[in-house]
Amino acid sequence: EQLLSFPHRCVLISFETRNILTELQLGILAHAFPISRARSIAFATFSAGAPIGGGLGMQMGGLLTQLAP
């Protein structure tokens, strides 16, 4: 008996992959920038990406929904 259906497994794998990639990206930033103001700006810029992307994504989704035939 299967515990999870195929779509559920795909969603779980995508979440897991996203978490791994985020950790790798943060590691690359930490390695590329020495401890300085530039490193702080790099981390702040990286951290601002999710809320900005979420807000713009909702706006674009609403716009496309309104314009859809």
Q: What is the pLDDT of residues 5-61, one digit of tens each?
A: 888 888 888 878 877 888 888 899 999 999 999 999 999 999 898 889 889 999 999
Q: State the pTM of this model.
A: 0.59
- Residue 31: its pLDDT value, please? 93
Burial of residue 33 (number of CB atoms within 10 Å: 0-12, 13-18, 19+)? middle
Read off the pLDDT band of 2 (50, 70, 90): low
Report whether pLDDT(1) > 70: no
Read off the pLDDT band of 66 (50, 70, 90): very high
- Residue 42: its pLDDT value, please? 92
Q: What is the residue-wise DSSP string for 27-52? A: HHHHHHS-SSHHHHHHHHHHHHHHHH
